[in-house]
Amino acid sequence: MFSNLRASTRSLSARLLIGQLCLLLVVCLGIGAVTILALHQYLIGEVDNQLRETAHRSAVIYGEPPPPPLPPAFRDNRPPWPRPGPGPQFLDAPGQPIGMIAAVITNGSASDAGLLGPGGVRTQVPPGAVEQLAQNAGQRRPVTRDLKGLGDYRVMSVRSRLTGETLVIGMSLGNLNATLLRVALTFAVVTVAALAVATTAGILINRRALTPLTRVAATAGEVANLPLDRGEVELPVRVPEIDANPYTEVGRLGLALNRMLDHISTALSTRQASESRVRQFVADASHELRTPLAAIRGYTELAQRKRDQVPDDVAHAMGRVESEAERMTHLVEDLLLLARLDSGRPLEREPVDLSRLSADVASDAHIAGPDHEWNLDVPSDPLYVTGDDARLHQVVANLLANARTHTPPGTSVTLSLHAEPDAAVLRVVDDGPGIPAGLQSEVFERFARGDTSRSRKGGSTGLGLAIASAVVRAHGGSITLQSVPGLTEFTVRLPRTNES
C-alpha cells in the first residue's frame, strides 16, 4: 500500500523516466548475462579441447623412457628434461601448459601428483586437492572441480597406453574466470554510462514531450484559481489550439478541457443572470414594501394612542401588528442593504476608531443580553481603519447579536481587538455549544439557520452574518469562522490606516 502511495505521488515525467531506465537496465542486464554465458561456454569449450589434447599427449608419454641426453653443444641455456620435482615426469614434456595438474592413480589412490607452476617448475599439490583428483579417476569427460587450495579446474581421466594406470589431468580455469570478470566489469561500466546518458536524454525528451500537458495543466490551474462561487464570472483562459489537436492524447485532453470550460462559462452566465434577476426582484420588492410598511406602522401608532377607547383584544392585536411591522421593516432594510452592496454602491470612506466602536457595541450588547457574560479586550489607544462607521458598527453588532441569540444564558462572550502590521483584527469568541460542522460552510449565506443547540429564538432572519460578510468584503477585509463545541470564534480582518 505504501509503495503504491509513493508511486502515485511521483510526477508523470518521473514515472516515465523511471520506466525507461528500468527497461534499459533490464535490457542491458539481459544482454550482459547472455553474452557472459555464451562467452563462458565458448571458453570452456576451448579449455576442454586443450585438456583433451594435453591428456592424450600425457597418456602417450607416461611410461616411455626419458629421451637420451643432448650433445654438449646443445645443452647450453637449456633446462634438463625431465627436471626434478613432484608429480609425473610428463609434466616437463614440451608443449605442456602452465597451470596443468596431473596425478597418477594406483589402486584407487594418487601415488604421484604435481602441478606445473610458473617457469615450468613442478610443485607440490595440496593433500586435499590430491584426494579430490583421486575421486575423479574414471571420469572420461571434462568436469569442473573446485580443488582445495588451487581454485577451479577442468579435470578428466585417461588411461596410460603402456602401464594401464589411470592419469587424472586438470587445466586451471583461473584465466577463464578472470576474463569473465573483466567482461562483466566492462558491461557494468557500459551499463552505468548508458543509464547516465539515458537519464539525461530521457529528462530532455520527456520534458519536451510533456510540455503540452504542462500547458494544459497550467490552464486548468488558472481556472481553478478564479472565484467561481459568486458574482459575474468570465473565463478568459482557454487551452491554446496547438495543444488541442484531436489527433494526439494531450490534444484530446486539451480539446475536452476547452469544451468543459465553454459549458462552465455558459452555466456561470446563466447562474449569474438568474441571481441578478432574483436580487433585482428582492431589491424592487423591498423598496416597494417600505411605503406600505410605513403606512401600517403609522396607522398602528395612531391606533395605539386610543388604546383606552377600543376593546382589550383589539388593542393587543394592534400591538402585535406594530411589533411585526417593525420586525418586517428591519428585514426590508437588511435586504435593501444587501442589494446595495451587491450592486457595488460605494460606502462612506472616513477614519473609523474601532476601539471606540467596539466599546459602544459591547455596552449595547450588555444591555440587550444581561443573562450573558460580556468581556471587552480593546487597546486603550485609538485603532483606525478607513470605512463606513455605521456599516462597521452593524458588523460588530450583528456578531454580538448572533452570539447572544444562539447561545444559552450564562455563556461568556469576549470581544477583542488588536493591531497587526497591516490589519486590524477583531474577534468575537463565545464558549457556547458551537456551530454544527455541516452548517459552518453556509453561515455567511443569506437566510442560513441552524436547528441544533444554537436556537432560532429572538426573531433571527438569517441575514445578520450575510450582511457582516458583505460589509467586510466591501471594506477589502475578510471574515472567518472556527467552531467546535465549547468554542466559537469569528475573526474579522480590516486593512489598517494611519489616519487619526
Task: Indicate if the pLDDT at residue 68 is higher than 70.
Answer: no
325 and 358, same domain (yes or no): no
Instruction: Tell whether 288 is covered by a domain.
Output: yes
Instruction: Tell whether 263 is covered by a domain.
Output: no
Q: Look at 124 and 226; give whichever has higher pLDDT.
A: 124
Q: What is the pLDDT of residue 287?
A: 66
For residue range 347-401, what is the model confidence (pLDDT) as tens digits?
788 999 999 999 999 999 999 889 999 999 998 888 899 988 988 998 999 899 9
Per-residue confidence at 66, pLDDT binned at 50, 70, 90? low
Alpha-carbon distance values, 154 to 145, 160, 208 (Å): 6, 19, 56
Instruction: Tell whether 156 is covered by a domain.
Output: yes
CB burial of 116-134 (b: ≥16 within 10 Å; e: otherwise) equals beeeebbeebeeebbebbb
15 and 60, same domain (yes or no): yes
329 and 360, same domain (yes or no): no
Instruction: Tell whether 4 is covered by a domain.
Output: yes
Instruction: Tell whether 249 is covered by a domain.
Output: no
Name the domain boundary from 321, 340, 359: 340
Of 38-52, 66-80, 144-158, the least confident? 66-80
Q: Mean pLDDT across the chain, nearest whole number?
A: 82
Q: What are phi and psi of 350, to 5 degrees?
A: -150, 160
Q: How far apart are CA 353 and CA 117, in angstroms?
A: 106
Average pLDDT over residues 418-447: 87
Instruction: Tell whether 459 is covered by a domain.
Output: yes
DSSP for 71-100 reads PGGG-TT---SSPSSSS-GGGGSTTPPTT-
Instruction: Tell whether 273 is covered by a domain.
Output: no
Q: CATH no. for residue 408?
A: 3.30.565.10
434 and 461, same domain (yes or no): yes
Q: How far apart are CA 113 and CA 101, in angstroms?
A: 8
For residue range 91-140, what is the model confidence (pLDDT) as tens digits?
878 888 888 998 888 877 888 888 888 877 888 888 888 888 888 887 88
Which one, of 266, 334, 330, 324, lies nearest residue 300 by Cα? 324
CB burial of 416-443 (b: ≥16 within 10 Å; e: otherwise) equals bbeeeeebbbbbbbbbbbbbeeebbeeb
Query: What torsion, rounded to 10 degrees, do the Cα atoms 114, 116, 118, 119 define?
Result: 110
Task: Indicate if the pLDDT at residue 466 is higher than 90.
Answer: no
418 and 487, same domain (yes or no): yes
Name the domain boundary from 201, 225, 249: 225
Q: What is the pLDDT of residue 500?
A: 45
89 and 219, same domain (yes or no): yes
Instruction: Tell whether 248 is covered by a domain.
Output: no
Residue 79, burial from CB neighbour count under 10 angstroms (0-12, 13-18, 19+): exposed
Its domain, for residue 300, covers 283-340
314 and 372, same domain (yes or no): no
299 and 393, same domain (yes or no): no
Q: What is the enclosing helix (H) or strand (E) of 119?
A: none
Q: Which residues, including other chains, have CB under 8 Å from residue 5's CB and lie 6 or more apart?
A: none
Task: Indicate if the pLDDT at residue 82 is higher than 70.
Answer: no
CB burial of 378-389 (b: ≥16 within 10 Å; e: otherwise) equals beeeebbbbbbb
391 and 320, same domain (yes or no): no
Name the domain boundary from 180, 201, 225: 225
**Residue type (1 letter), 336:** L
134 and 218, same domain (yes or no): yes
Cell numbers 377607547: residue: 309
Average pLDDT over residues 287-292: 73
Q: What is the pLDDT of residue 274?
A: 73
Q: What is the pLDDT of residue 453?
A: 41
368 and 333, same domain (yes or no): no
Number of domains in the chain: 3
**Residue type (1 letter), 201:** A
Look at residue 161 and give its three-state secondary structure.
coil
155 and 91, same domain (yes or no): yes
DSSP state of 460: -
For residue range 228-267, what is the model confidence (pLDDT) as tens digits?
666 666 677 777 777 777 888 878 888 888 888 888 778 8
For residue range 477-486, what is the model confidence (pLDDT) as tens digits?
999 999 999 8
